[in-house]
């Protein structure tokens, strides 16, 4: 498991692996928003939590097709299925590697980009906490979507159509938790809902992803 994690981390951080692509897209979204809605500080501060969450979600979506694509191309996926390592564990490791190379950098970059959107000082801690709780769910759900479309030519669009509706609950509660925190309101309920979604996806979706991979590789 450790060797698989190290291998996926190396693949994710090398050129074209999605590490820099996600951060660059996140930066572009945040920079373009003031041009679209205007530079007024009050308006930007009001929409900053939602924009940062939406940017992180879309940036995470960009690299999902890389989770299994390289393994499919070089035949490593067949070896994983037949290896002593349970496929559910392999899928979990790949989701973890995706989060470490994509989700975690987005979490670390969000406070810096929040300055560009005039995010109130009180909103930084809730934003970071909501992203830490929610981005693992994005990686796990994305891994399920990648498993569904593995081996399909130009399956990126289909995967986006499948995954985006599943991302909606995480986006709703994550953005709401960050917004309430920025406004000084109690955000305990959306944070608990966000944590529940993440725990549920981590507990259930690796089994679904493994089952889908076994079907696709028959």
Token pair of 56 as six digits: 């992180």
Domain interval for residue 135: 2-216
Confidence of residue 155 (pLDDT cuts 50, 70, 90): low
Average pLDDT score over the chain: 87
Residue that is written with structure tokens 């959107």 in the block? 117
Phi, psi of 160 (to 5 degrees): -60, -45
| CB distance 162 to 133 below 8 Å | no
Q: Which of 104, 92, 137, 100 is nearest to 1 (CA)?
A: 92
3-class SS of residue 183 = coil
Confidence of residue 16 (pLDDT cuts 50, 70, 90): low
Cβ atoms < 10 Å from Cβ of 165: 8
Total number of domains in the chain: 1
Q: What whole-number distance in Å separates Cα of residue 213 and Cα of residue 152?
A: 12
Phi, psi of 188 (to 5 degrees): -65, -40
pLDDT at residue 154 greater than cutoff 80: no
Q: What whole-number distance in Å separates Cα of residue 57 and Cα of residue 89?
A: 24
Confidence of residue 138 (pLDDT cuts 50, 70, 90): very high
Confidence of residue 215 (pLDDT cuts 50, 70, 90): confident
pLDDT tens column, 51-90: 999 999 999 888 887 788 777 777 777 777 777 788 888 8
In this structure, is the dihedral angle defined by the CA atoms of residues 189, 191, 195 and 200, taken in order, positive or negative?
positive
| pLDDT above 70: percentage of residues in the chain | 95
Q: What does the pLDDT average to over 136-164?
A: 85
Confidence of residue 41 (pLDDT cuts 50, 70, 90): confident
Q: Taking the complete model, does pTM exceed 0.75, yes or no?
A: yes
Q: Which of 129, 138, 136 is nearest to 110 (CA)?
A: 129
């Amino acid at each position: 498991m450790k060797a698989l994690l190290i291998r996926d981390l190396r693949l994710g951080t090398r050129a074209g692996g999605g590490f820099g692509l996600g951060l660059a897209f996140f930066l572009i979204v945040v920079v373009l928003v003031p041009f679209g809605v205007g530079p007024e500080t009050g308006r930007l501060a009001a929409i900053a939590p939602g924009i940062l969450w939406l940017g992180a979600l879309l940036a995470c979506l960009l690299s999902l097709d890389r989770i299994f694509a390289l393994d499919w191309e070089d035949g490593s996926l067949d070896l994983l299925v037949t290896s002593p390592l349970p496929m559910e564990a392999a899928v979990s490791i790949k989701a973890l590697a995706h989060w470490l190379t994509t989700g975690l950098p987005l979490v670390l970059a969000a406070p810096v980009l929040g300055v560009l959107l005039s995010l109130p000082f009180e909103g930084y801690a809730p934003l970071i906490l909501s992203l830490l709780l929610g981005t693992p769910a994005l990686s796990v759900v994305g891994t399920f979507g990648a498993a569904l479309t593995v081996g399909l030519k130009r399956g990126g669009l289909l995967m986006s159509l499948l995954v985006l509706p599943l991302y909606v609950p995480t986006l709703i509660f994550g953005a709401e938790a960050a917004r309430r925190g920025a406004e000084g309101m109690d955000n305990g309920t959306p944070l608990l809902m966000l944590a529940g979604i993440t725990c549920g996806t981590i507990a259930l979706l690796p089994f679904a992803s493994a089952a889908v991979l076994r079907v696709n590789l028959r």
